[in-house]
Amino acid sequence: MSEKQLVSECQQTARAMNAYLEVAGQRDARGSGSTIGLPDAFLYCAGKCLPVEFKAPKGRLSPGQTLAQHRRADQHVHTFIVRTVAEFVDLINGARRFA
């Protein structure tokens, strides 16, 4: 499954589970003036806003994404890496469990 397909399926899953996935639309953002390392999306669920980075099964974080992930972690904000729809469902369920 491509990253684009994964994002689309996760958007549908979020709606079905009464959560909201806001996709940042940062595909091919190089040169667009956007912030390097901005997560692909934000999941809003159970009063939480969770940054989400989608990756195809063999995809890797770029150096800019890794740096941004560490900077968020320094502020106690965890970035969730999602590679499958099942991982995304677990993320939603986890957000609800710890609400």
Predicted TM-score (pTM) of this structure:
0.87
pLDDT value of residue 37: 86
Separation of alpha carbons 85 and 7, rounded Å: 9
57, 1 contact by CB (below 8 A): yes
Which has more pLDDT, 13 or 2?
Answer: 13
**Cβ partners under 8 Å of residue 9, min gap 6:** 1, 85
Distance of CA 44 to the CA centre of its chain: 11
pLDDT tens digits for range 59-94: 999 999 999 999 999 999 999 999 999 999 999 999
**Residue-range domain boundaries for the chain:** 3-97
Separation of alpha carbons 39 and 51, rounded Å: 6
pLDDT value of residue 36: 79
pLDDT tens digits for range 3-35: 999 999 999 999 999 999 999 865 555 555 567
Fold classified for 3-97: Trna Endonuclease; Chain: A, domain 1 (3.40.1350)
